[in-house]
Structure 1
Amino acid sequence: MCECELKKNPKRTKLQLLLGHLSLLSDTMRSGKCSRIIAGVLYPLVILSIICNVVLLFPGWDVKYAKEGHLTDEVKYMGGIVGGLLVLISALFIHLTGKQGCCGNRFGMLFSVVIAAVGAAGAVYCFIVALLGLGNGPLCKVHGTWTTPFKNRKDNYLTDYKSWETCTEPKNVVLFNIGLFGTLAAVNCLQVLLCAIQIINGLVGCLCGTGTEKA
Structure 2
Amino acid sequence: MCSGSFAKCLGITLMPLSIVCVLCNILLFFPSGTSVAREHITEQVWYFGGILGSGVLMIFPALVFLGLKNNDCCGCCGNESCGRRFAMLSSILFAGVGVLGAGYSVIVSAVAINHGPQCVVFSNSTVTLWGYPFSNGDYLTNTAAWSLCKEPADVVSWHLSLFSVLMVMGLIQMALCAVQVVNGLLGALCGGCCGGSNRAV
User: TM-score range with shorter-chain normalisation?
Assistant: 0.7 to 0.9
> Which residue of the partner structure matches residue 110 of structure 2?
131
Q: Is the 2:73–2:86 contact (alpha carbons within 8 Å) kept by the matching residues of 1? A: no
Encode CA deviations 1:3-53: one digit per residue, 9 max, x unaligned: xxxxxxxxxxxxxxxxxxxxxxxxxx3101110111111111101111100
* Residue 204, structure 1, aligned to residue 183, structure 2: no
**In 2, are the aligned partners of 1:112 and 1:202 still within 8 Å (CA)?**
yes
- 1:152 deviates by 2.4
Asked whether the 8 Å contact 2:72–2:87 carries over to 1, the reply is: no
Question: What is the CA deviation profile of residues 162-210 of structure 1, one whole-angstrom value per residue up to 9, with x for unaligned ones?
Answer: 1101101111000000000000011011000000000000011011111
User: Which one-letter code corresponds to 1:213 in the other structure?
Assistant: R
Q: Which amino acid aligns with 1:128?
A: I
Q: Pick the aligned partner of 1:42 from 14, 24, 41.
A: 14
1:130: how far off?
Answer: 0.4
Contact 1:100 1:214 in 2 (8 A): no
| Structure 1 residue 91 corresponds to structure 2 residue 62 | yes
Q: How big is the alpha-carbon RMSD for the aligned residues of Structure 1 and Structure 2?
A: 1.7
Alignment of 1:60 onto 2:32: yes
Match of 1:165 among 147, 159, 166: 147
Any unmatched runs of 5+ in structure 2? 75-82, 124-128
Q: Following TM superposition, by how much is the alpha carbon of 1:109 offset from its aligned partner in structure 2, in angstroms?
A: 0.7
Corresponding residue SS for 1:141: strand
**Alignment partners' CA distance in 1, 2:119 and 2:66:** 42
Q: 2:62, 2:146 → 1: CA distance?
A: 39
Please state whether the residue corresponding to 2:40 is helix, strand or coil.
Answer: coil
Q: Secondary structure at the match of 2:70?
A: coil
Aligned to 1:149: 133
Aligned partners of 2:192 and 2:200 also within 8 Å:
no
Q: CA deviation at 1:99?
A: 2.2
CA distance in 2, matches of 1:91, 1:213: 23
> In structure 2, what is the Cα distance between the partners aligned to 1:174 and 1:139?
9
Seen in structure 2, the aligned counterparts of structure 1 residues 68 and 122 have a Cα distance that, compared at 3 Å, is closer
Distance 1:152 1:214 in 2: 55
Report how far residue 102 of structure 1 moved: 3.2
Q: Distance in 2 between matches of 1:68 and 1:80?
A: 18
Q: Tell me, in whole angstroms, the C-alpha distance in 1 between the residues paired with 2:152 and 2:158.
A: 10
Task: Out of 133-142 and 92-101, give the one that drifted further.
Answer: 92-101
CA separation in 1, counterparts of 2:151 and 2:33? 12
Q: TM-score, normalised by structure 2?
A: 0.86
What are the Cα deviations for residues 54-89 of structure 1, in whole angstroms up to 9, with x where unaligned? 0001002112x1x44211111000000011111111
Aligned residues: 183
Could you tell me which residue of structure 2 aligns to residue 22 of structure 1?
A: none
Which AA in structure 2 matches 1:141? Answer: V
Cα distance in 1 for residues equivalent to 2:103 and 2:38: 30
- Distance of 1:98 and 1:164 partners within structure 2: 50
Residues in 1 aligned to 2:16 and 2:114: alpha-carbon distance in whole angstroms: 26
State the identity as a percent. Answer: 39
